[in-house]
Amino acid sequence: MSAQNSGPRRDTRGIVDAADLFAHVRFRRHEPAPELRPYLEHYWLIDWDLPQPYASHVVPHPSVNLVFQRYDDGRPDFLELSGVGLALDTRKLAGRGRVCGIQFRPGGFRPFAPGFAVSEWTDRVIPVDSVFPSADPTAVLSPDRDEGRVAALDAFLLGLGPRPDPQAELAMALVDRIRHDRTVRRVDTLAREAGLSARSLQRLFAAHVGVGPKWVVLRYRIHEALEHAESTDAVDWARLAAELGYADQAHLVRDFTATLGAPPSALRPGTSRT
């Protein structure tokens, strides 16, 4: 198995104006049971009680999420499977609500649903009845304390009996390398170093990650660019573009704008999008 997480991620990469989000909702991350840590990034819990509607914006990671949801609009509790999102994810929150999410490591979901290629759900949000018919959203959402919700999430996933999968382990290890090693820029080089053909690498990512390796490289670049855009007014975009492997600053700005719907100059520290 590839290296396990040392705890929930503490960065806010992918969240547009994280400070504004945290001012409107209670957002927490928790670590799953030890047996689940090889497959998961973390659990993420959100509660809100809003006098006015609020919109959150997230540039998704190359991860599958299972999201247990409760709203005060009369709908029953429900669970959705969210595949890897290709574009900016905007969620409108109003009134009172509660969400318990499971973020899988890129490549870590397939052992829980080995009969499906993860690419089947890319850029889709679907009810999970056909995948996990025994899921009980209310059991996860009802506890008032975080510890109770985390225990319910652990019980749900452990009950699925994830099956060890060497190909999933390889996919997770390769995505980890892309995430942490800026020198990984070319798919053919990554494939060669993994002992695979470029086509085999593409098939591996389609089955276990849901998107291609080049897309993963670009998405992590955008996450880093977003973090720079929101952390300081004095970003040297030409230098950052070179560090991230872009041909030039214009190329970075085009990718950033296409993903977020706004150029870096529109996302100054402390700004919000509603």
- For the chain, give the percent of residues with pLDDT over 90: 67
Predicted pLDDT of residue 5: 53
Q: What are phi and psi of 145, to 5 degrees?
A: -95, 145
Task: Tell me what pLDDT residue 58 has.
Answer: 94
**pTM (predicted TM-score):** 0.90
In whole numbers, what is the pLDDT of the chain averaged over residues? 90
Euclidean distance between CA atoms 135 and 31, whole angstroms = 20
SS3 of residue 78 by DSSP:
strand
Q: How confident is the model at residue 267 (pLDDT cuts 50, 70, 90)?
A: low
Q: 6 pLDDT band (50/70/90 cuts)? A: low
For 109-156, how does the pLDDT look when each residue is reduced to its tens digit (9 = 90+)? 999 999 899 999 999 999 988 789 889 999 999 999 999 999 999 999
User: Range with the lowest mean pLDDT among 39-48, 76-85, 143-152, 261-270?
Assistant: 261-270
What gap in Å lies between CA 73 and CA 214, rounded to an integer? Answer: 41
pLDDT band at 84 (very low <50, low <70, confident <90, very high): very high
Task: Encode pLDDT of 95-106 as tens digits.
Answer: 999 999 999 999
Burial class (CB in 10 A: 0-12, 13-18, 19+), 168: buried
